[in-house]
Amino acid sequence: MGFGARLRELWHIRTWVAVCLALAVLAAVWSVAKISVLPPSLTSRSLKMATATTQIVVDTPKSTLVDTRQDTYSLDALTNRAVLLGNVMASQPVREAIARQAQVPFSALQVLPPLTPKQPRALSEAGNERKTSDILKLNDQYRLVIQANPTVPFLQIYAQAPDTRSATAIADAAVDSMKLYLTRVAGIAKTPDGDQIKLVQLGRAHGTVINPGIAWRVMLLTFCITFAILCATAIFIRRVRDGWRVAALEADAAAG
């Protein structure tokens, strides 16, 4: 191979590498942002996932938990009532109030009520169904998971959202909205204050991001995989082309 041929060979290799790099960079950017051509724009994708948690004690006006004059047998009734309240929290009126207070889209908010041995699977409700396609938009949704303690009147609330503020707001809004709902129902039923259920929140919700730096990791992984695939494809195409060239030369030599 002459000097000119070697230069052309190096130029072709550099061209292929540049094209692979450009396409890999484009794929890496697309993995973390939505690219629009008309008009030109970049919109970040929701890759971060934040969670927040808080706890609720279901109690009576004369606290069963701190008043020694109250018998502990009523704890069983309060425990069953806690499960009931957890399911009410997943109803549409309460969900609407939660979404409104937390300032999140109602259509994106899912509330999973507490599960029990008698009810091991969550019942589907209009607008609150879980679909297989939800896994594709996991980070774009807002979830509220309610767990009931089987032995004491205690509710654990877990919220998930794309950012910490939203997750914390959803968890706190669940408690506030449930209190307002119970107060409204008690007013309609004219239930005396001394006979109403009391919800005690054990501190406001605390949230945190569970996958910090996810955007950079996704970009790096996408770039490496895309670049490797493109380089392997370029090498395969080049070898096929060289094979055809050799076969053509051998055919010409045989004909000559």
Neighbouring residues of 118: CB distance < 8 A, sequence distance ≥ 6 = none
Cα 116 from Cα 174, distance rounded (Å): 20
Q: How confident is the model at residue 209 (pLDDT cuts 50, 70, 90)?
A: confident
pLDDT at 233 over 90: no
Query: 62: exposed, middle or buried (C-beta count within 10 Å: 0-12, 13-18, 19+)?
Result: exposed
In this predicted model, which residue has the larger pLDDT, 137 or 143?
A: 143
What is the rounded average pLDDT of the residues 177-200?
Answer: 86
**Tokens standing for 205?**
């919700």
Lowest mean pLDDT among 15-19, 103-107, 221-225: 15-19
**Tokens standing for 129?**
């169904």
pLDDT at 132 over 50: no
What is the rounded average pLDDT of the residues 21-25?
Answer: 88
- CB distance 129 to 122 below 8 Å: no
Q: What is the predicted pLDDT for the residue at 212?
A: 76
pLDDT at 157 over 80: yes
Lowest mean pLDDT among 8-12, 25-29, 224-228: 8-12
Find where tokens 């259509």 sit. 107
Q: What is the predicted pLDDT for the residue at 5?
A: 63
Q: What is the predicted pLDDT for the residue at 158?
A: 93
What is the rounded average pLDDT of the residues 134-138?
Answer: 46
Q: How confident is the model at residue 175 (pLDDT cuts 50, 70, 90)?
A: very high
Question: Per this entry, what is the length of the chain?
Answer: 256
pLDDT at 51 over 80: yes
State what percent of residues in the chain have pLDDT above 70: 82
pLDDT at 33 over 90: no
Sign of the torsion angle spanned by Cα atoms 114, 119, 121, 127: negative
What is the rounded average pLDDT of the residues 234-245?
Answer: 81
pLDDT at 126 over 50: no
Q: What is the pTM of this model?
A: 0.67
